[in-house]
Amino acid sequence: MAKCKLSGKGPQYGNNLPWSKKTTRRRWQPNVQKYSIFVPELGRTVKIKASTRAMKSVNKLGLMAYLRKHNLTLKDVT
């Protein structure tokens, strides 16, 4: 199951709705990527699985600031 370690975003569920209107259940996976980011506070590179939305926020704030803002530790996401 694809799940973002930073935001906790997981799959969403819904219905396929074709032209005949016969619905069947399906699920949408979040866009989760393996991501390496250099953390200057630690002086090393950290590998995480993150959604592209979370990656954009980490690029803007920095990893440690993002973790502090969301009350996470580095051990929670690696």
Give yes or no for a contact between 42 and 78, defined as CB atoms under 8 angstroms apart: no
Any idea which architecture 12-77 has in CATH? Roll (2.30)
Would you state the pLDDT for residue 78? Answer: 83
Which residue ranges make up each domain of the chain? 12-77
Closest to 35 (Cα-Cα) out of 53, 19, 50: 50
pLDDT in tens, 35-78: 999 999 999 999 999 999 999 999 999 999 999 999 999 998 88
Q: Rounded to whole angstroms, what are the CA distances from 57 to 15, 36, 66? A: 30, 14, 7
CB count within 10 Å of CB 19 equals: 5
The model carries a pTM of 0.83
Question: What is the pLDDT averaged over residues 3-20?
Answer: 95
